Amino acid sequence: MSNDGFDKYGYYTDGFNKEGNHKATGTKFNKEGFAKDGFDKLGYDQDGFSKNGYNKNGFDKKGTHIATHTLFDNAGFNKDGFDKLGKNKQGLTSNE
């Protein structure tokens, strides 16, 4: 490992080089589909959150919805897909 963090082939320990290409795939994405910045082609990280901090359903890591600023989305469901009564879209609870 050189002083600048590259191995003798020009790759960092995460497998990416200065241009952002991964040594195993030869592309901007590693085998798991994530780029040097930790986001996939759709812009989500390993936990499913975008660079803005929201998942595909509009919830942040604390469970707050981007549009309603509450723990429930516009349809009345939380980050886990349950409403205030604990029922999902099919009307079932997590125990059913």
Q: What is the pLDDT of residues 63-80, one digit of tens each?
A: 999 999 999 999 999 999
Give the C-alpha separation, 13 to 92, whole Å: 47
Residue-by-residue DSSP string for 31-85: TTS--TTS--TTSB-TTS-BTTS--TTSB-TTS-BTTTSSSS-TTS--TTS--TT
Give the C-alpha separation, 29 to 40, whole Å: 7
Contact assessment for residue 37 and residue 14, using Cβ atoms and an 8 Å cutoff? no
Selected residue with higher pLDDT from 19 and 95:
19
- Model pTM? 0.75
